[in-house]
Amino acid sequence: MAAKTPSASATPGDPGASGLWPGRLAAGGSPFDGITARSPRPDLEAFLASPAVRELAQQICEIGRRMWQRAYVDGNGGNLALRVGPDLALCTPTQISKGFMRPEDLCLVDLAGNQLAGARKRTSEILMHLQIMQRQPRAVASVHCHPPYSTGFAIAGVQPPTCLTSEFELTISLATAPYRTPGTPELGRFVADLVDQHNTILMANHGVVAWSHRSVEDAYFKIETLEAYCHTVLIASQLGKPLKRITPAQLQELLQIKQRQGIPDPRYGLEQCEHCLSTEWRPGETCAAAHCAARPANPPPGGEPDEALVQAIANQIKARTMI
C-alpha cells in the first residue's frame, strides 16, 4: 500500500490529532494510515519520501542546523528522533554534521531500532530515543546534543540549582542519568528510567537529551532553555552576592501553570519546603519557607563546603579566560 497524499500538512503534537505522532489528523484522513513496520519495503520507502514525512524531515534538519550554529554539537555529534507512526520513527543518520543535513539523509526505523528505509545508516544512539518513546508514551520527539555549559554540569556531577528563573521552572524538569557507553541499551535504560517525571536529562560525562509531547522544535527549546540557564547560573555565582531565589509560594504558582501545560515535574504535591532544595549546588542550604526554617540542613560528607576551594577554582577559571 503506497503512502497517501495528505490533505493537510502534518503537525507534530497537534492537540486535535487522534494519536500522539505527527500527521494523525482529526479529519481528512492521514498519510500514515495503514503504514507500519511490517509494511512492504517499497511502501516504507514511498512513505519516507512522501510530502508529509519530507516536511517533518525538513523540520529535523532545521533543528540540527540551529544546534550546529549554537555550538551545541561538534563533528558528527548529536542526534534527533521523531515518532511518525504507532511503531515507526524518523531519525538522523550517523556520521554527518547536524548543521548540513538534507531531508533525504534521514532514516526510518521501527521501535526496536531496525532500519526500514533510508539511504544512509541510522544514528548509533537511536536506541536511547526509542527507549524514551516506549517508556514515555507522550513523547513525540527527542533531541540529544552536547551544549557546553549544560555538559559542564553533567561532567561535574552537579545539577544546577532550582528556583532562580521563571523560564526554567515553567519548562524544564531536570534529572541526571549515570554514565554508560553511548549507543548501548544500558544508557538508554538509565535515561528512560527518568522520563516519567522529567523532560530533560543531563547525561553524566556526555551531554543532554530532552523529549517533547509537542514537536522536535519544542524538545530543542528545552535544551536551549537549559543551556541559557546553566550559563546564567555560572555568571551569577561569580558576582560575589548570594543568589536571590524565587520564594516557595511564587514557585508554587509556576508549578501550577506548568502542570496545566502537561509538563511533568516530580515536585507536584510536595510541601513548599521541598521545592527548592539544591544540595548538590550549595550543600547544607536550607529552604526559605518559614515553616521549614527550623529543619536542620543535611551537612555534606566531610563537613561544611570549602568556600575557599570554590573561590580558588573560580579564580583559576577567570585567569584562564583573561589569557
Please tell me what DSSP assigns to residue 103: G
**Residues catalogued as catalytic:** 125
In the beta sheet, which residues pair with residue 198?
none
Q: Where are the beta strands (DSSP E) in the chain?
A: 79-85, 88-91, 107-110, 115-117, 141-145, 174-177, 200-203, 207-212
Distances (CA, A) of 48 to 21, 45, 89, 123, 248: 15, 5, 10, 16, 48
Handedness of CA 43, 46, 51, 56 (dihedral sign): positive
The CA distance from 156 to 138, in Å, is 31
Cβ(122)–Cβ(109) below 8 Å? yes
Cβ(205)–Cβ(176) below 8 Å? no
